Amino acid sequence: MKTIYHAANTRGHADHGWLKSFHSFSFANYHDPKRMNFGALRVLNDDVVAPGRGFGTHPHRNMEIISIPLEGDLQHMDDMGNSTVIKQGDIQVMSAGSGVSHSEFNKNKDQVVKFLQIWVFPNQSEVTPRYDQITVADNAKTNGLTQIVSPNPSDEGVWIHQDAWFYLGNFTLETSATYSLKNTNNGVYLFILDGELEVNGQLLHTRDGYGIWGTDSFNYKTSNKAKILFMEVPMKF
């Protein structure tokens, strides 16, 4: 088993006034050759957008982009004709493929919007761009893992062009469990949204990241109030 620990306070940080962002991996002006990606997981940005502000229209290509709102309402528009709002409890995915342009704005004028912006390298290039959005709040498990991303359109959650599985864990009780990987060639990157998680003797706190690979399973223990994002991705792609 191999592991890597990224403490919350070691992340890259950008403050543009209207946007405050923490980068778990190299992004924009933050560059660390030791933190370029975790397997197929390329970007994990923890963003806070000021009221009424946002990202103007910009392009993407050949990337699977997943947005997870944590607070507030995020307005999305793209050149595929989509105009939607995503909020806490929703999951958004966009397969950029052969090329797509979109914008993201804080819909509200009186509160910030907080969301995770995640990029995953795809296993196919130049696919037809695609957008999807679901609400998982009503089906979310308590003290267990809720699947939110997979490679299979018929599975729970949204799907992407990669052999990757994401889960959200919402724990209200101290919980001990085992995570079994879907594929032993994959790794799992854990991101602590809130609370504490212990894995392999390492105690993780809010906004810490921890990668595990070279194993088929691992044990973990949560605090009695914790929210964890599990991201299983291929280590070679």
Q: Is residue 217 part of a domain?
A: yes
Whole-number Å distance between alpha carbons of 213 and 80: 37
Query: Measured between alpha carbons, how far is 3 from 200 in angstroms, rounded to an integer?
Result: 9
Domain boundary among 102, 135, 168: 135
| Domain count along the chain | 2
Walk along the chain (237 residues) in steps of 10 and give the mean pLDDT of each run. Answer: 98 97 97 98 98 96 97 96 95 97 96 98 97 87 95 95 97 96 97 97 97 98 96 96
Six-digit token string for 3: 């592991």
pLDDT of 139: 73
Asked whether residue 189 falls in the same domain as residue 81, the answer is no
192 shares its domain with 84: no
CATH number for the domain harbouring residue 216: 2.60.120.10
Closest residue by Cα to residue 208 from 220, 105, 217, 218: 220
pLDDT of residue 156: 92
Range of the domain at 196: 139-234
Q: What pLDDT is recorded for position 237? A: 87
In a domain, 7, yes or no: no
Last-in-domain residue among 94, 109, 135: 135
Q: pTM (2 decimals)? A: 0.97
On whether both 107 and 150 belong to a single domain, the answer is no
Quote the pLDDT of residue 178: 97
Cβ neighbours, 10 Å, residue 66? 23
Examine residue 2 and state whether it is found in any structural domain, yes or no: no
Question: How far is the CA of 8 from the CAs of 12, 23, 49, 73, 146, in angstroms?
Answer: 9, 10, 19, 25, 24
Instruction: Please tell me the distance from the alpha carbon of residue 232 to that of residue 11, in angstroms, as a whole number.
Output: 20
Closest CA to 67 of 52, 82, 81: 82
Residues 6 or more apart whose CB falls under 8 angstroms from that of 150 comprise 156, 157, 159, 160, 164, 165, 166
pLDDT at 137: 74
Are residue 110 and residue 185 in the same domain, yes or no?
A: no
Q: Dump pLDDT digits (tens) for 180-216.
A: 999 999 999 999 999 999 998 999 999 999 999 999 9
Domain boundary, last residue among 86, 119, 135: 135
Q: What pairs with residue 67 in β-bridges?
A: 92, 117
